[in-house]
Amino acid sequence: MTTHSGSAHSWNTRAVHAGKDDLAALGLHAPPIDLSTTYPSHDVVAEAARLDDFAAGNDDGGPPVYGRVTNPTVRRFENALAELEGAEAAVAFASGMAALSACLLAQVAAGRPEIIGVRPLYGTTDHLLDSGLLGNSVRWVAPEEAASAITGRTGLVVVESPANPTLTEVDLRALTDACAPVPVLVDNTFATPVLQRPLALGATMVLHSATKYLGGHGDVMGGVIACDEEFARSLRQIRFVTGGMLHPIAGYELLRGLATLPVRVRAASATAAELARRLAEHPRVTQVYYPRLGGAMVSFETSADPIALVSAVGLITPAVSLGSVDSLIQHPASLTHRIMDEVARKDAGISPDLVRLSVGLEDVEDLWTDLTQALAQAVR
Ligand code: MET
């Protein structure tokens, strides 16, 4: 029997095959979707033992017991994403926020409720940390101050790079070296494992809003943490009791999305880089933000009316979210980062003039035509 070994093939090849290596032997091509909420067992004693094991956060790949606890289709996506991020394990949730919440709850429950946050972060992430809703506290610091903010009760350093919405980049290697052994969680949603694998740079956990590039088509919501097996156990324990499990259909769609992730990200990034270059020369654009790392997100400040600009697009869709095959544009101060108060937004460097563009797979000339006509219309 021919099998695909993780080490024998390139990363791009693994993006296509990860999580599916057993399919041919099963006589299948597409991964099966298991929608069972419960699983029959005539061996109550064995079933009880498995449930105890799941409650302790273990998942040995054996038979499931209940759909809130584990699911074979979701497990395929978790295994694939873990492989692509270079992690021992991954734990999937119903959304990126559910995934982040599980990380916070795990650290709060372990008696390490102090979080060190590096701004900017996605607005609701910032709000979750700042509000202390899950029993945590937060200290906001610049990356180079993070290590000196650590105490015996620090549970996590939270950073996003490139960051939502300013695309600010952090030297992850320097940050993780300085903060060790305190765990560093990197939100890798914008970069994706195509452009950056934070665990190889010393991060402890990688967070994805899988809704974005991993899904890639704007039709599936999910979140996932890639980490070592020890953290994965804590996260599964939290998911067991909070019920934030990813739906199996979402697991299927996310696994399907991974296969095209490298080509989607590279194609959209090339277009985004060109748009960033053109925007920098546009008379109504005062500042362009585009990561050194590349990627398909471009943000810019405009002397035009940013709200009118977002309303004036035709081909591009005025909407929050990102990472879809089609381009989306939005005004962070009004929408994705609205929940932060004005002082926090200022601290994060988010200007009221900032517009965030998620570049899709359309032709660059069509996108440029739409952007320039919208910029021309958007008078203050
Ligand atoms: C409700 S606002 C958000 C969604 C998404 N995280 C974004 O940054 O666009």
pLDDT class of 2 with cuts at 50, 70, 90: very low
Separation CA 15–CA 259 (nearest Å): 5
Given ligand 1 and candidates 97, 124, 337, which is best to mutate, with the most ligand atoms within 8 Å of its CB?
124
Ligand 1 atom, smallest distance to 164 CA: 8
| Stated pTM of the model | 0.97
pLDDT tens column, 308-324: 999 999 999 999 999 99
DSSP output for 304-360? S-HHHHHHH-SSSEE-S---SSS-EEE-TTTTTTTTS-HHHHHHTT--TTEEEEE--
Q: For atom 9 of ligand 1, which residue has the closest CA?
A: 321
Average pLDDT (34-58) is 96
Nearest to 211 by CA among 242, 233, 229, 189: 189
The reported pLDDT for the residue numbered 50 is 95
pLDDT class of 380 with cuts at 50, 70, 90: confident
The reported pLDDT for the residue numbered 7 is 64
Q: Which ipTM value was assigned to this complex?
A: 0.97
Res. 103: pLDDT tops 50: yes
Percent of the chain scoring above 70 in pLDDT: 98
Nearest to 314 by CA among 270, 267, 374, 363: 374
297-302 and 205-209 strand pairing: unpaired
Residue count of the chain, please give it. 380
Residues carrying an active site annotation: 68, 122, 187, 212
Cα dist from 110 to 135, 155, 185, 208, 242, whole Å? 12, 8, 16, 23, 16
Report yes or no: 85 and 15 within 8 Å, Cβ to Cβ: no
Ordered domains of the chain (ranges, CATH): 11-260 (3.40.640.10), 261-377 (3.90.1150.10)
362: which DSSP letter? S
3-state secondary structure of 232: helix
The reported pLDDT for the residue numbered 172 is 98
Res. 4: pLDDT tops 80: no
Ligand 1 site, CB within 6 A:
122, 164, 209, 320-322, 335-336
